[in-house]
Amino acid sequence: MKRIKITALAALAVFAAFAALAGSASATTILKVTDPLGEVAPGTTITATSTNLVTTSTAGKLECENNVLPSTLSNNNSAKIKGLSSEEKSFGNFLGLEGACKTSLGIPAVIYTKQFPWTEEYKASGTKGSVTVKGTKKVAFLTEFLYPELGKENQCMLEASKIASTFTAGTAGHPAALVFTTTNQTFKLNKKATEYKVVNPETKKTEIEKRTAAICPETGSLSGEWTVNDANGAVSTE
């Protein structure tokens, strides 16, 4: 009787192990990035663009008419597709000023993106896809307000450990356009990042010059939608 019980327990253990393996296997989706000419080769530049990214905070909203994030694919046809970016551009034409983004305060702002290179990782479980963007240390956006009344204290540095977005993945033979959505990604103000060492021309001594504006919010939430293309047209996953 004891031997039967032990054998039964062993069988249950083996069954549980197989069930766990099957569950983990089903959770892994092999993604393939394609364009109108077929599978996209590693080394190809794909570009995510957005026209509706908005950062919302207690200080109001910051909107740029255009956001462009090019990245070079490191691999394809894998459970995790990775890319590398050396730049991101956020720009507009607010009040007729080239490159200036709009704020709800009515003050034009120029955005400088920091902490490159950035990495992108695309993965999916079934049709539920996710994109994670990370910077060298953080993903950082430096906002400089074009408002003389602020003097030198006219900057905000907002940072996040990552930008997390979602997309609907296609399936084999049924590609879906790669469009990913960022929803309320939190960024935090880093005042230290806008402190600069300068030499006082009178004393010849190095001093710390603080550039953080009084209107900077402590946090901001980024939301918007990105579409992805390459030189051949729209990029899809399947």
Range in 7-21, 110-124, 204-218 with the lowest mean pLDDT: 7-21
The span from the CA of 132 to the CA of 128, in Å, is 14
Give the contacts of 217 (CB within 8 A, at least 6 positions apart): 57, 58, 59, 156, 189
Q: 3-class DSSP state for residue 50?
A: strand
CA 233 centroid distance within chain: 22
Q: What is the pLDDT of residue 201?
A: 87
Dist CA 122 CA 84 (whole Å): 12
Per mean pLDDT, which range of 37-41, 102-106, 113-117, 198-202 is the poorest? 198-202
d(CA 49, CA 54): 13
Token pair for 137: 């240390």
Give the separation between CA 104 and CA 71, rounded to whole angstroms: 31
The lowest-confidence range among 4-18, 39-53, 156-170, 203-217 is 4-18
Per-residue confidence (pLDDT) for residue 25, from 0 to 100: 42
What integer pLDDT is reported at residue 4 of this predicted model?
A: 44
C-beta neighbour count of 182 within 10 angstroms: 20
Angle at the Cα of 66 from the Cα atoms of 226 and 237, rounded to 5 degrees: 20
Q: What is the pLDDT of residues 32-78, one digit of tens each?
A: 999 999 999 999 999 999 999 999 999 999 999 999 999 999 999 99
Q: What is the dihedral of CA 11, 13, 15, 16, to 10 degrees?
A: 160
User: Would strands 176-177 and 89-91 be described as parallel, antiparallel, or unpaired?
Assistant: unpaired
Q: What pLDDT is stored for residue 202 in this prediction?
A: 87
19 pLDDT more than 50: no
Token pair for residue 96?
Answer: 């007729």
Q: Are 224 and 163 in contact (CB under 8 A)?
A: no
State pLDDT tens for residues 74-104.
999 999 999 999 999 999 999 999 999 999 9
Residue 13, pLDDT > 90, answer: no
Q: What is the mean pLDDT of the chain?
A: 91
* 214 in Cβ contact with 154 (< 8 Å): no
What's the predicted TM-score (pTM) here?
0.85
Nearest to 115, CA basis, from 142, 137, 92, 95: 137
Give the residue, 24 or 224, on which the prediction is more confident: 224
Closest Cα partner for 56 from 233, 231, 220, 237? 220
